[in-house]
Amino acid sequence: MTEPLLRVRGLKIGATVYPPGEKPRDIEIVHGVDFDLERGKVLGLIGESGAGKSTIGLASMAYGRGGVRITGGEVWVNGRDILKAGLRDIRRLRGGEVTYVSQSAAASFNPAKPIMEQVTEAAISQGKFTRREAEKRAIGLFRKLGLPDPDNIGRRYPHQVSGGQLQRCMTALALCPEPDLVVFDEPTTALDVTTQIDVLAAIKEAIHDTGVAALYITHDLAVVAQVSDDIMVLKMGNMVEYGPTDQIINAPREEYTRALVSVRQIEHPEKLHRQASPVLSCENITARYKGTKFDVLKDVSVQLYPGQTLAVVGESGSGKSTLARVITGLLPPSGGRIVFSGRELTPDLKSRPKEDLRELQMIYQMADVAMNPRQTVGTIIGRPLEFYFGLKGEAKQRRIQELLDEIELGKGFQDRYPAELSGGQKQRVCIARALAAKPKLIICDEVTSALDPLVADGILKLLLNLQKIEDVAYLFITHDLATVRAIADSIAVMYQGRFVRYGTKTEVLSPPFDDYTDLLLSSVPEMKLGWLEQVLATRKMESAGN
């Protein structure tokens, strides 16, 4: 058997952590991982955050991010152990033999330099190509990756192209020096689903055409199933399962892999509303931001009934978060009115009575920045109790404990600080804080987007459960259709500031679809092999038929 391109043996990676109020200590985050990667093959590394997948990917470039160090094991690339290589040799490896595509191309491109210069830089500085050759190669890659105007796009600056285009440029950057291995670190996670599918197809084709090997890192099993030959499932720095993609998806052996495969299967039949009067009714809302000349929301009307969930779904920039800002009064609308539990809301937050503020609560995407890091969980949850109900002392403590029980956190949590909680626990505390006000409506703005799938599922189940107990209505803003299926009673599909489709869940998710909803629904990756090709083939046929 020939030597594999990448051979990892007993890889151990450590880091120094700085817990608040304690001495810094060293921890191990990857506990001995083995794998091989043949030339031209794609290995998917999958796991939740903290699984060590990015760290392992970067280790194949002998790189540790921040305080991360490779503490043991061997990483063989092209027949030499790079952990024993000198600095000069490692520099030749990085950008020459192994290249990297990061999650956020927007942040990974230098804003001060044109794209072409950055795409060709490694190839030129490694002496692999002359400037002229590298630029010709880059233009070829731009064309292959489906970028518009491939001959000239390299002259643009990163801020002049869209997020999806920049992610393709990043792929071109990685492929330009003709590497043997590319590390793709969540390359499509930050993109909208309709953009993701195109970028994914472009990446897959580029991998296939150039014959490069790849490590494809993602938390999304459905995505990795489309591109990889083998998959390795990681959990907390340990390998859980390692096998061909087909086996991992269709016949997972381990319990954890099965949980990942079956995730997002919450059954939630829609509830019919019993009451005649809606808790929230927006009528012909139009809104624009100060100093801009176009309406972000155009003539939006929506009703939400008590104890129901309305999911507002759309891509970034569609206006869904603006709708939340208008309802909460952060952005007074330029037209239309909002009726909330039978009374009209004033457009401006400052002039709203306390009762309106209490009955309308909000939960945000980033739980960590929505909490004061210097307050304990008890203080955070206790604040609305004092502010709205004037609770003090024993009564307040009792109520805090009740709320903590409701969010399944139990005793001992009220004295903890946000930094001591996991992502899911933080979001639960934010939910408890919203519930403390006994609201009639909670606006949930992408509340599960920053969480791992299994944790997100727990949050969704909790929200559904709480809805039953408290009879609270949710306005659920999300870009994720799986979340919508799991939680919504009615759905509004938003595109460029308008509702393109609005109705009960069954109505919205049953054909015939309008073009945009069809595009949106068909772009959500499915957990089966060959899904990507199938969708693209269908689309090709449809566009040929038109």
Residues in contact with another protein by the rule CB under 8 A: 61, 63, 65, 90-96, 99-100, 102, 104, 107-113, 118, 121-122, 125-126, 156-157, 159-160, 173
Taking the least distance from each CB to another protein, the nearer of 125 and 275 is: 125
What whole-number distance in Å separates Cα of residue 145 and Cα of residue 139? Answer: 10
Closest-CA residue to 320 (of 476, 482, 441): 476
Q: Which residues contact 545 (CB under 8 A, 6 or more apart)?
A: none
Closest-CA residue to 152 (of 175, 176, 135, 170): 135
Taking the least distance from each CB to another protein, the nearer of 95 and 378 is: 95
| Least distance from another protein to the Cβ atom of residue 76, Å | 18
Between the two ends of the chain, the Cα-to-Cα distance in Å is 51
Tokens of 50: 């903290």
Element (H, E) at 17: strand 6-17
Taking the least distance from each CB to another protein, the nearer of 61 and 225 is: 61
In one letter, which amino acid is 317? G
Burial (CB count within 10 angstroms: exposed 0-12, middle 13-18, buried 19+), residue 415: exposed
| Least distance from another protein to the Cβ atom of residue 100, Å | 5
| Least distance from another protein to the Cβ atom of residue 177, Å | 8
| Least distance from another protein to the Cβ atom of residue 110, Å | 4
Taking the least distance from each CB to another protein, the nearer of 65 and 350 is: 65
| Least distance from another protein to the Cβ atom of residue 176, Å | 10
Taking the least distance from each CB to another protein, the nearer of 98 and 239 is: 98
Neighbours of 85 (CB within 10 A): 16
| Least distance from another protein to the Cβ atom of residue 63, Å | 6
| Least distance from another protein to the Cβ atom of residue 51, Å | 20
Q: Which residues contact 32 (CB under 8 A, 6 or more apart)?
A: 10, 11, 12, 72, 73, 238
Taking the least distance from each CB to another protein, the nearer of 122 and 493 is: 122
| Least distance from another protein to the Cβ atom of residue 255, Å | 35
Taking the least distance from each CB to another protein, the nearer of 218 and 517 is: 218
Query: Nearest 10 degrees: CA dihedral of 326, 327, 333, 336?
Result: 150
What whole-number distance in Å separates Cα of residue 319 and Cα of residue 333? Answer: 13
The strand pair at 335-340 and 280-287 is best described as antiparallel
Taking the least distance from each CB to another protein, the nearer of 8 and 98 is: 98
In one letter, which amino acid is 228? S
| Least distance from another protein to the Cβ atom of residue 66, Å | 10
What whole-number distance in Å separates Cα of residue 397 and Cα of residue 409? Answer: 15
Element (H, E) at 441: strand 441-445
Taking the least distance from each CB to another protein, the nearer of 29 and 161 is: 161
Taking the least distance from each CB to another protein, the nearer of 153 and 326 is: 153
At 394 the three-state DSSP class reads helix
Q: Are 470 and 502 in contact (CB under 8 A)?
A: no
| Least distance from another protein to the Cβ atom of residue 54, Å | 11
What whole-number distance in Å separates Cα of residue 299 and Cα of residue 278? Answer: 19
At 270 the three-state DSSP class reads coil
Q: Which residues contact 525 (CB under 8 A, 6 or more apart)?
A: 193, 196, 197, 200, 220, 222, 223, 225, 226, 531, 532
| Least distance from another protein to the Cβ atom of residue 91, Å | 4
| Least distance from another protein to the Cβ atom of residue 334, Å | 25
Taking the least distance from each CB to another protein, the nearer of 95 and 423 is: 95
Taking the least distance from each CB to another protein, the nearer of 104 and 346 is: 104
**531-545 vs 193-210: helix crossing angle, rounded to 10:** 110
3-state helix, strand, coil in the chain (%, to 5): 40, 25, 35
Number of DSSP helices (H) and strands (E) in the chain, helices first = 20, 20
